């Protein structure tokens, strides 16, 4: 299981805060009041699974005065700080766009926000700046589609100039929301066009929740990896829209197919620079076990994908054995790999059943008792 040892999953700091829908954000006991407490929870997920040594931050949600100190704090807890996510979707100035806005001053403000994120990356030791834009329009005629693309390209180029030699810019696409008629970076093709124009250190981020129903996501994975332009994943699950559910919850078979293409494309090789991040919100379920479940799901589907007999698959494919080839995939998918994974954990000094071990650890009860007062972190706080 050596390839499996290379699997590392980056946790989103915001998964540990409260979240909800536009109808209601529920609060829960023990919710972090600070980024330090979010990192402590993320480090707990890593301690129980051995799979999640990196924490992604969202700015300004996780802004602190001293990021170098935050980096040391994380290191002391056994994790590092990862992707810096910019946020140009919660400021009144961005009502009609950020990097695409017609007003140069607003575009500059959005560019400056990204330059601040790049400064933060230097202090945190982060490699990736991830950009997702809420930019778009709701009505035909509301904006000049072409002009918005031109301004976007210009703004991204201004940001990319500041990306260091060991850093990367990853551009995330989403086919709708909050805009409903036209989104400025709606699909992988648009993201690919922009990052290709920028240069080698610009890549695409694929959020599994950001596609129309029925989209063949593993095809996009294969294509972007073939083009050396898949920078990172935002893993989650969706039933209807961008539901941000536990990855693998809605469709484990899809996660298996995605991980098969990740492996096929070298994404789990030691030399790979592909970042596997979660982008989830736990609205009604407990947050820390929610994250534990997610990373275990990714590991489980990765192990099943690794169980595909690729030599036999190639023979079946090349001899036109349609049903035989499909059976090879399905045999691996249906293989119950859980006992082998329990053994994998045991051999590494990890709890064989991380969900049960966390429940028995008393960690949740301790933070419920300790985290009294203050303001609970919240998506959008
Ligand atoms: C947008 O829906 C998104 O997927 C982006 O990655 C944001 O940064 C994130 O959600 C916030 O949860
Ligand atoms: Mn995302």
Rounded average pLDDT per 10-residue block, the chain, 381 residues: 91 96 92 98 98 98 98 98 98 98 98 98 98 98 98 99 98 97 98 99 98 97 98 97 96 98 98 98 96 98 98 98 98 98 98 98 98 90 46
Of all ligands present, the nearest one to the C-alpha of 131 is 1
* Collapsed DSSP state (helix, strand, coil) of residue 287: helix
Tens digit of each residue's pLDDT (9 = 90 or more) over 270-305: 999 999 999 999 999 999 999 999 999 999 999 999
| pLDDT value at residue 270 | 96
What lies within 8 Å, CB to CB, of 311 at 6+ separation is none
Q: Which two tokens stand for residue 93?
A: 């100035």
Ligand 1 pocket mutation pick from 56, 85, 185 by most atoms within 8 angstroms of CB: 85
233 CA to centre of ligand 2 in angstroms: 8
Q: Which atom of ligand 1 is nearest to the CA of 14?
A: 12
Q: Are strands 136-137 and 182-183 parallel, antiparallel or unpaired?
A: antiparallel
Q: Are strands 128-132 and 168-172 parallel, antiparallel or unpaired?
A: parallel
| pLDDT value at residue 269 | 97
Ligand 1 pocket mutation pick from 21, 86, 132 by most atoms within 8 angstroms of CB: 132
Report how far apart, in Å, the C-alpha atoms of 247 and of each of 10, 242, 254, 275 are. 13, 12, 10, 15
Residue 109: is the preceding peptide bond cis (ω within 30°)? no
> Quick one: angle between helices 354-361 and 363-370, nearest 10?
40
17 CA to centre of ligand 1 in angstroms: 14
94 CA to centre of ligand 2 in angstroms: 19
Of all ligands present, the nearest one to the C-alpha of 134 is 1
Query: Which helix H or strand E contains 42, and what residues bound it?
Result: helix 35-49
Q: Rounded distance, CA 238 to CA 291, Å?
A: 16
- What's the burial of 374, exposed, middle or buried (CB within 10 Å: 0-12/13-18/19+)? exposed
Which residue CA neighbors atom 12 of ligand 1 most closely?
279
Pocket of ligand 1 (CB under 6 A): 14, 85, 132, 172, 174, 207, 234, 242, 279
**HSE value, Cβ hemisphere, 13 Å, CA-based, for 310:** 8
Report how far apart, in Å, the C-alpha atoms of 300 and of each of 12, 95, 132, 245 are. 20, 41, 28, 17
Alpha-helical regions (H) of 207-337: 217-226, 252-264, 287-306, 310-318, 322-334
Ligand 1 pocket mutation pick from 25, 86, 184, 279 by most atoms within 8 angstroms of CB: 279
Q: Please give the span between the terminal C-alpha atoms of the chain, in angstroms, as a whole number.
A: 42
* 251, 44, 28, 174 alpha-carbon torsion, rounded to 10°: -40
14 CA to centre of ligand 2 in angstroms: 11
229 CA to centre of ligand 1 in angstroms: 20
Q: Which two tokens stand for residue 361?
A: 């650890």
Q: Which atom of ligand 1 is nearest to the CA of 281?
A: 12
Report how far apart, in Å, the C-alpha atoms of 61 and of each of 43, 112, 267, 320 are. 19, 17, 30, 53
Report how far apart, in Å, the C-alpha atoms of 173 and of each of 45, 132, 144, 267 are. 28, 7, 19, 20
Q: Rounded distance, CA 51 to CA 65, Å?
A: 29
Which residue CA neighbors atom 7 of ligand 1 most closely?
132
Closest CA to 129 of 101, 156, 95: 156
Q: Are strands 230-235 and 136-137 parallel, antiparallel or unpaired?
A: unpaired
Ligand 1 pocket mutation pick from 14, 60, 173, 234 by most atoms within 8 angstroms of CB: 234
246 CA to centre of ligand 2 in angstroms: 13
Tens digit of each residue's pLDDT (9 = 90 or more) over 313-364: 999 999 999 999 999 999 999 999 999 999 999 999 999 999 999 999 999 9
- Per-residue DSSP letters for 46-59? HHHHS---EEEEET
Q: Which two tokens stand for residue 29?
A: 């006991």
Q: Which atom of ligand 1 is nearest to the CA of 172?
A: 6
Which residue CA neighbors atom 9 of ligand 1 most closely?
279
Q: Which atom of ligand 1 is nearest to the CA of 242?
A: 2
Q: What domains does the chain contain, in order, with CATH numbers? A: 3-307 (3.20.20.150)
Q: Which two tokens stand for residue 175?
A: 């086919």
Q: Which atom of ligand 1 is nearest to the CA of 379?
A: 12
Closest CA to 16 of 359, 361, 288: 288
> How many other C-beta atoms lie within 10 A of the C-beta of residue 71?
16
349 CA to centre of ligand 2 in angstroms: 32
Closest CA to 132 of 81, 90, 72: 90
> How many other C-beta atoms lie within 10 A of the C-beta of residue 347?
10
């Amino acid at each position: 299981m050596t390839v499996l040892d290379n699997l590392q999953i980056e946790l989103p700091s915001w998964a540990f805060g409260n979240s909800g829908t536009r109808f209601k954000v529920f609060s829960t006991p023990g919710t972090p009041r600070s980024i330090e407490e979010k990192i402590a929870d993320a480090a707990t997920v890593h301690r129980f699974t051995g799979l999640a040594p990196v924490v992604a931050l969202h700015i300004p949600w996780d802004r602190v005065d001293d990021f170098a100190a935050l980096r040391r704090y994380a290191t002391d807890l056994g994790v590092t700080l990862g992707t810096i996510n910019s946020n140009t979707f919660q400021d009144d100035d961005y009502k009609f766009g950020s990097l695409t806005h017609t007003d140069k001053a607003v575009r500059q403000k959005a560019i400056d926000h990204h330059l601040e994120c790049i400064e933060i990356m230097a202090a945190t030791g982060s490699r990736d700046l991830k950009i997702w834009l809420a930019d778009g329009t709701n009505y035909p005629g509301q904006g000049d589609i072409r002009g918005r693309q031109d301004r976007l390209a210009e703004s991204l180029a201004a940001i990319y100039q500041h990306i260091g030699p060991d850093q990367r810019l990853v551009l995330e696409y989403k086919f709708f929301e909050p805009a409903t008629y036209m989104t400025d970076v709606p699909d992988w093709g648009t993201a690919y066009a922009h990052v290709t124009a920028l240069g080698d250190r610009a890549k695409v981020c694929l959020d599994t929740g950001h596609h129309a129903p029925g989209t063949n996501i593993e095809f996009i994975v294969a294509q972007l990896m073939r083009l050396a332009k898949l920078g990172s994943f935002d893993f989650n699950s969706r039933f209807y829209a961008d539901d941000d559910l536990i990855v693998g919850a809605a469709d484990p078979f899809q996660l298996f197919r995605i991980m098969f293409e990740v492996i096929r494309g070298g994404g789990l090789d030691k030399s790979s620079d592909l970042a596997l991040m979660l982008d989830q919100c736990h609205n009604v379920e407990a947050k820390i076990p929610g994250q534990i479940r997610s990373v275990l799901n990714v590991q489980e589907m990765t192990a099943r994908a690794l169980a595909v007999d690729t030599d036999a698959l190639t023979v079946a494919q090349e001899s036109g054995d349609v049903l035989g080839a499909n059976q090879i995939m399905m045999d691996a998918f249906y293989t119950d790999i859980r006992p082998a994974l329990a053994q994998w954990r045991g051999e590494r000094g990890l709890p064989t059943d991380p969900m049960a071990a966390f429940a028995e650890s008393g960690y949740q009860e301790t933070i419920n008792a300790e985290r009294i007062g203050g303001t609970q972190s919240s998506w959008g706080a």
